[in-house]
């Protein structure tokens, strides 16, 4: 045979596409992982439909939104367009080209986090917005890319404790800056960074102190602010705080319960009619359950499981340590946010304000998620045989 077919995780690739990296292992260079691409596009489509369904009533009955039922849909589509352009660009330019810039994107994200503390817009008791976007969302991706590039550049830095502590410092700076105003996102970004270090660090004994430090930090953060303690009490018994912190959880229960197996039908949610505030935001999964039922919710969860599975596979087969850590960090970010968002909607954990990737409304969030998937798709093109 002139050509031997090689079927790798991203479709058909041939021996002509094989090269050898610096370590001597065979590489397969081919197309992106079309399963990841298909799942991302499907989630974006579902998210767009649900955002319109969940928002048209509140937007159409509010002068603040010009009584325009398409207000949130139009803004969301603009951000999806920007994100898709970024995804296409990042998935087609070798990711190594961008490595030289990641230090500056990390520094820029820190500057934005400082600015949001002093000049940010306060929403629901926390300053998250700066000039129409959320710096904390940018900081998540900036940390993933810089930490991965730093570890890749300094080979063996995680073999000793001093190098491990230096990498912890890279994680700690954005975590502290975000934690000043937004503890839940700070927990997410810390978990992303520690998860990446866990992947890359040979000596797992370095992580022993975290079993004490993490619970202490979380408990300290809860007691440091009265509203966080109120959220804990409302989580334990939402019906005791039905007119306050427990209101959203109770309305979410009603939405999920009334959805049944097949749901009330797309657009037929009752809880979005003024009962669940900002139903198109972080709580949108409850509207999805109400309109599409258990069946629709299961489909969305399965799609996320497929995305996480393919992302893990991409990370495991990446041709460099940077590729492994970048893809791994992005999948950790998505997996954490999916688990935390659904846990909040079902009252399995206290309210955190974490968006559901690709589904919840949020301009900065959808753009950053699509840019992140652009890097994952790019990494999926360069795989070890």
**Alpha helix (H) residue ranges in 156-209:** 161-179, 183-200
Beta pairing partners, 18: 28
Task: In whole angstroms, give the CA distance from residue 221 to residue 35.
Answer: 40
Using the predicted structure, report yes or no on whether residue 6 has a pLDDT greater than 50.
Answer: no
Q: pLDDT higher for 288 or 161? A: 288
User: In which element (H, E) is residue 384 found?
Assistant: strand 382-384
Whole-structure pTM value? 0.86
- Say yes or no to pLDDT of 3 above 60: no
pLDDT in tens, 251-300: 888 889 988 889 998 988 888 887 888 888 888 999 999 999 999 999 99
Cβ atoms of 206 and 161 within 8 Å: the answer is yes
The two structure tokens encoding residue 36: 């990841």
Residue 8: pLDDT band (50, 70, 90) is very low
Give the pLDDT of residue 24. 46
Label residue 231 left, alpha or beta by phi (over 0 means left) and psi (-120 to 50 means alpha): alpha
**Following CA atoms 185, 187, 192, 194 in sequence, which dihedral angle do they give, to the nearest 10 degrees?**
160
pLDDT exceeds cutoff 70 at 223:
no
Task: Determine the 3-state secondary structure of 240 from DSSP.
Answer: helix
- Check whether 133 has a pLDDT greater than 70: yes
Residue 385 is predicted with a pLDDT of 62
Alpha carbons 347 and 343: distance in angstroms, whole number:
6
More confident residue, 254 or 182: 254
Q: In what order do the strands lie in the sheet with 382-384?
A: 18-20, 26-29, 382-384
- In this prediction, residue 222 carries a pLDDT of 64
Q: Which two tokens stand for residue 269?
A: 């949610």
Phi and psi for 26 in degrees, rounded to 5? -75, 140
For residue 320 the two structure tokens come to 């460099």
Residue 15 predicted with pLDDT over 80: no
Question: Secondary structure of 50-107 in the HEC alphabet?
Answer: HHHHHHHHHHHCCHHHCCCCCHHHHHHHHHHHHHHHHHHHHHHCCHHHHHHHHHHHHH
Tokens of 246: 């427990």
Phi-psi region of 358 (alpha: psi -120 to 50; beta: other; left: phi over 0): left
User: What's the CA gap between 278 and 344, in Å, rounded?
Assistant: 15
| Range from 29-43, 172-186, 204-218, 330-344 carrying the lowest mean pLDDT | 204-218
Closest by Cα among 128, 238, 253, 231 to 185: 128
Rounded Cα gap, residues 20 and 122, in angstroms = 52
Q: Which of 60-69, 158-167, 326-335 has the highest mean pLDDT?
A: 326-335
CA–CA distance, 67 with 292 (Å, rounded to integer): 26
Place of tokens 């929403």: 123
- Range 306-334 average pLDDT: 92
Residue 124 has pLDDT above 80, yes or no: no
CA-nearest of 377, 337, 382, 383 to 86 is: 377
What is the pLDDT at residue 225? Answer: 63
Q: Is the model's pLDDT at 84 over the cut of 90?
A: yes
Task: Give tens-digit pLDDT for 98-111.
Answer: 888 888 999 999 99
Rg (alpha carbons) of the chain, rounded to whole number:
22
Tell me the β-bridge partners of 11: 8
Residue 367, CA atoms < 13 Å, CB-side half-sphere: 18
Please tell me whether residue 136 adopts helix, strand or coil conformation.
Answer: helix
How far apart CA 325 and CA 316 sit, in angstroms, is 9
- Summary mean pLDDT of the chain: 83
Any idea which of 34-38, 165-169, 187-191, 235-239 has the lowest mean pLDDT?
235-239
Q: What is the mean pLDDT of residues 25-33?
A: 66
């Amino acid at each position: 045979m002139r050509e031997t077919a090689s079927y790798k995780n991203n479709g058909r690739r041939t021996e002509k596409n094989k090269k050898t990296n610096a370590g001597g292992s065979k590489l397969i260079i081919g197309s992106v992982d079309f399963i990841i691409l298909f799942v991302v596009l499907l989630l974006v489509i579902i998210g767009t439909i649900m955002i319109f369904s969940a928002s048209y009533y509140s937007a159409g009955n509010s002068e603040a939104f010009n009584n325009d039922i398409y207000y949130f849909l139009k803004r969301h589509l603009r951000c999806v367009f920007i994100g898709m352009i970024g995804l296409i660009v990042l998935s087609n330019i070798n990711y190594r080209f961008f490595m030289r810039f990641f230090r500056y994107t990390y520094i820029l994200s820190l500057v934005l986090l400082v600015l949001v503390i002093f000049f940010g817009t306060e929403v629901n008791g926390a300053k998250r917005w700066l000039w129409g976007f959320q710096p904390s969302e940018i900081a998540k991706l900036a940390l993933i890319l810089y930490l991965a590039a730093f570890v890749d550049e300094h080979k063996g830095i995680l073999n000793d404790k001093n190098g491990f502590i230096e990498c912890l410092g890279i994680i700690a700076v954005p975590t502290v800056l975000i934690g000043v105003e937004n503890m839940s996102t700070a927990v997410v970004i810390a978990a992303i960074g520690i998860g990446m270090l866990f992947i890359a660090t040979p000596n797992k004994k370095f992580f022993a102190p975290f079993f004490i430090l993490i619970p202490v930090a979380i408990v300290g953060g809860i007691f440091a602010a009265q509203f966080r303690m109120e959220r804990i009490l409302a989580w334990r018994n939402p019906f005791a705080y039905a007119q306050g912190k427990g209101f959203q959880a109770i309305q979410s229960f009603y939405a999920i319960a009334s959805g049944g197996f097949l749901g009330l039908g797309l657009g037929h949610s009752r809880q979005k009619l003024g009962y669940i505030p900002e139903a198109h935001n972080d709580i949108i999964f409850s509207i999805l359950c109400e309109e599409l039922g258990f069946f629709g919710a299961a489909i969305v969860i399965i799609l996320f499981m497929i995305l996480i599975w393919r992302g893990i596979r991409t990370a495991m087969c990446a041709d460099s340590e940077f590729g492994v850590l970048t893809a791994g960090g992005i999948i950790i970010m998505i997996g954490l946010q999916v688990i935390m968002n659904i846990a909040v909607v079902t009252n399995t954990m206290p309210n955190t304000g974490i968006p559901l990737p690709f589904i919840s409304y949020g301009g900065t969030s959808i753009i950053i998620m699509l840019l992140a998937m652009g890097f994952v798709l790019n990494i999926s093109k360069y795989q070890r045989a």
